[in-house]
Amino acid sequence: MRSLAIWGTGACVLMVPFALATQSPLLQWRDAPYVVAGFAGILAMTVMVFQPLLAAAELPGLLRQRARRVHRWVGLLVLTLVGVHVAGLWLTSPPDMIDALLFRSPTPFSVWGVLAMWALVLSAGLAAMGPPMRPRLWRILHTALFLVIMVGSVVHALLIEGTMETVSKSVLCAVLIWVTVGAVLRRRVWVVLLRRQR
């Protein structure tokens, strides 16, 4: 029953925000690149919910080695979706995207979104390099970058009044925060770090 509840909740996290966003009346006035960019962003955020659980091997039915392999593929998927998100917005309005990427945009949600994007790029680069001689330090950096990605993505989404339905968006953000903080607190690497500081 516990496994069924976890996977059922995961399915709802994936489908409900996306399905409700398709009913937004704002889509009638948007061109195709903007719509594709928006839904790529929604999918990236929903899929990202699974990353902390995969990294900690806490999803039922997935052993640690397989969970970490899936974690890498999901990370690549999130990176691709964010790339589509940025590319679609670039096609819609290149000047606005240039200002956003250079942190010159007057809209706060752009700043948080770009901060999350650059943290994602750094995290992907770190993952591509693989754990160095000090794997504990690597895990700390990788986890810290994901925390930046999570916070930036949540604030970015909450500040935007767009196609996402308000309640489902808030629930999605709360779930992402909950699973991320829970997984981080349960990781032994942080426990060891805190013990060394005492």
For 113-130, the pLDDT digits (tens) are: 999 999 999 999 988 887
How buried is 57 (Cβ within 10 angstroms: 0-12 exposed, 13-18 middle, 19+ buried)?
middle
Please provide residue 59's backbone torsions phi and psi, each rounded to the nearest 5 degrees.
Answer: -90, 130
Give the pair of three-digit tokens for residue 33. 């690149």
pLDDT for the residue numbered 198 = 47
- DSSP state letter for 98: H
Give the pLDDT score at 14.
Answer: 81
Domains of the chain, by residue range, sit at 2-197
Q: How far is CA 190 from the centre of its chain?
A: 21
Please, what sign has the CA dihedral across residues 7, 13, 18, 23? Answer: positive
The whole model's pTM is what?
0.86
Question: What's residue 133's pLDDT?
Answer: 56
Residue keyed to tokens 């909740």: 9
Q: HSE of 71 in the Cβ direction (CA atoms, 13 Å)?
A: 23
Residue 67 is predicted with a pLDDT of: 86
Contacting residues for 27 by C-beta, under 8 A, at least 6 apart: 35, 163
Q: What is the DSSP letter of 59?
A: S
Pair of tokens at residue 76: 């690549």
CA Rg, the chain, in Å?
17
Q: At what angle do helices 108-129 and 94-101 cross, to 10 degrees?
A: 70
User: In 3-state terms, what secondary structure has residue 106?
Assistant: coil
The architecture of the domain spanning 2-197 is Up-down Bundle (1.20)
Q: How far apart are CA 185 and CA 147, in angstroms?
A: 12
Q: What is the 3-state secondary structure (H, E, C) of 126-189?
A: HHHHCCCCCHHHHHHHHHHHHHHHHHHHHHHHHHCCCCCCHHHHHHHHHHHHHHHHHHHHHCHH
- Mean pLDDT for each 10-residue chunk of the chain (198 residues)? 70 86 86 92 93 84 84 94 94 90 88 94 88 75 92 94 89 92 73 50
